[in-house]
Amino acid sequence: MKSLVLDTNFLIDFCQNPSNFAHSSLGEYGQLLIPSVVLGEYKAGIQKTKRGEEAKTRLAQLLARSSVKTVSIGERTAELYAKVFQALREMGRPIPQNDIWIAASALEHGADLATTDGHFRLVPLLTVIVTRS
């Protein structure tokens, strides 16, 4: 089965709306991958919310699932980051740097990417599942 990387905006939706169609349709993927960059963005975002503790609990519940794995940035990820960065530069179509790390993580693991950001479609060889909540 294929793996699916969750972008930060999709992780937020996934945790806040467990009955959402996008959430229920993820069953076709054997594993959900959460890059450390996404985890950092999510944790930074919940620091400033009134429901931060609730968000932390939902995240902990998600991370406790055997089908969910966090993935770190390593040397291979850095190599892919450089390639994606250069390709986007040559196209004259930059995207946020954290998003390049997220795309590189998906490419490294041969995973699709779930996001609500259409600019990920600019990344060569990346399969993007753009959803709207």
User: What are 23-32's pLDDT values in tens digits?
Assistant: 555 667 889 9
Q: Are 1 and 31 in contact (CB under 8 A)?
A: yes
Q: Please give the domain boundaries of the chain with CATH numbers for all domains.
A: 3-130 (3.40.50.1010)
Q: Helix %, strand %, coil % for the chain, to 5?
A: 55, 15, 30
Predicted pLDDT at 29? 87
**CA pair distance 123, 72, nearest whole angstrom:** 20
d(CA 56, CA 133): 21
The pLDDT of residue 21 is 44
Task: Quick: pLDDT tens for 79-115.
Answer: 999 999 999 999 999 999 999 999 999 999 999 999 9
Q: What is the pTM of this model?
A: 0.90
b/e sequence 46-64, b meaning 16+ C-beta within 10 Å: beeeeeeeebeebbeebee
Q: What are phi and psi of 37, to 5 degrees?
A: -65, -45
Interval 112-126: pLDDT, tens: 999 999 999 999 999
The secondary structure of residue 129, as a DSSP letter, is: E
Residue 87, φ and ψ in degrees, nearest 5 = -60, -45
